[in-house]
Amino acid sequence: MKRFWDQAAVQPVEAGWGIALDGRPLRLPGGTTLHLPTRPLAEAVAEEWATAGGAKGNEMSMEDVPLTRLVGTAVDRIAPDPAPSATAIAEYGQSDLLCYRAEDRRLAALQAEHWQPLLDWAALHHDAPLRVTTGITHVAQSEDALRALHAAVAAHSPFGLSALGIAVPAMGSLVLGLALSAGRIDAAEAHRLAVLDETYQESFWGTDAEAAVRRTRVAADIAVAARLLELSR
């Protein structure tokens, strides 16, 4: 669409903070006026719209406003009934990336060194010990651990669920997502751990162009999710 505004600004509203485009409230595609819980989040969203498209009359797309897309999902899709989103995210605990170790001993040792501390953290912090296996054969997790992980996910606000909803599938790990949310790791570390297998293989076989593009996309998803988690608190 064409940019129809010159300025994007934050304004206080009864429900928190809103965004005004040349004085007119920013509305989501469904028509809802966007209200945000914190001023830092509103300022970040306003900044996206201040730069999207460059200048009035230029073309812009929703790809220019990734944070807005996530908060829009939180407000329009998750907030009316958060339970289905929490359940969908929590299901990643059943096959968490960190629980599947390589048969290659060197890679398995690297995985244990870098992944096990986060599984230990999940066991202690969330009372959710997860079982580890070798290879790709599914390992069943205890119902108690899965319930604990579900409770940890469900404790998030709609904005936190929106962030986890993009970060957890991108990484293939609920534990990494919860650690990111808790500040146990940052976005760069979460990405490094999520692609540990790929970067190990590339150290022997060289860089795969398609995989590198995918990793860049994953890194961007994790970064915007981490930003939303931080700004919405």
pLDDT in tens, 180-189: 999 999 999 9
| 31 and 132 both lie in a single domain | no
Q: Domain count for the chain, please give it.
A: 2
What is the domain range of residue 187? 83-231
* Residue 83 pLDDT level (bands cut at 50, 70, 90): very high
Residue 58 lies in a domain: yes
| 110 and 155 both lie in a single domain | yes
pLDDT reported for residue 208: 85
Give 19's strand partners. Answer: 10
Closest CA to 225 of 190, 192, 184: 190
| 54 and 141 both lie in a single domain | no
Q: What is the mean pLDDT of residues 97-120?
A: 97
| 128 and 54 both lie in a single domain | no
Contact 121, 176 (CB under 8 A): no
Residue 72 lies in a domain: no
Residue 115 lies in a domain: yes
Contact 224, 68 (CB under 8 A): no
Residue 75 lies in a domain: no
pLDDT reported for residue 178: 98
**Percent of the chain at pLDDT above 70?**
100
